[in-house]
Amino acid sequence: MENNGLFCTASTILEDTLKEKIVEAINVAVSGKNSFLAILKKNIETVLSEDLDESTAGIDKRLEELQTELIQKANLKEEYNNIVNEIYRLRDLRQETLSRNALRQDKRDRIAEMTDFLNTQTGDITEFDDKLVRKLIEKVIVYDDRLVVEFKSGLEIEVNL
């Protein structure tokens, strides 16, 4: 039977080993929390600054103007296709802007969660906690000799197998 790309050829890892290594990665984050907190703070200050959130006020104002203009042209039976096209374009732009803002807010929330966790965690985690893992970790990439644990905050920690 030929491999049509549906089968994973990556090496496997025992669930217990995976859990143990995830706990190890979380403990690396906790033990190095001062440097990780500095990285998280820098991420918020640079990429995720509230100042970067785009206002839709200008778009909303222009949409209002265009809608008024559209009504006037329609009442006078004048051509208004270009106004309709501009309204659709601005609505799309507004939606894209709101989506970008929401993504940035989500990233800020993930960083805040990780920051709170690091600030409140005083010692090593001793066992796998499914809720904690789901809250903090985005994904784990398994290689032959190591795993890379990617936290939802953007931090990545590599652990040898």
What is the pLDDT at residue 1? 41
Report the pLDDT value the prediction gives residue 92, as an integer from 0 to 100. Answer: 95
Two tokens, residue 101: 């803002």
Query: Quick one: which of 28, 42, 26 has its CA closest to 134?
Result: 26
Record the pTM: 0.64
Which residue(s) pair with 149 in the sheet? Answer: 140, 157
d(CA 105, CA 115): 15
Give the residue-averaged pLDDT of 118-128. Answer: 85
- Residue type (1 letter), 53: D
Per residue in 13-53, pLDDT (tens digit) is 788 888 888 898 988 888 887 778 887 877 777 766 666 67
Confidence class for position 7, pLDDT limits 50, 70, 90: low
Return d(Cα 112, Cα 107) in angstroms, integer: 9
Residue 112 has pLDDT above 80, yes or no: yes
**CB contact set of 23 (below 8 Å; sequence gap of 6+):** 125, 126, 127, 128
pLDDT of residue 143: 86
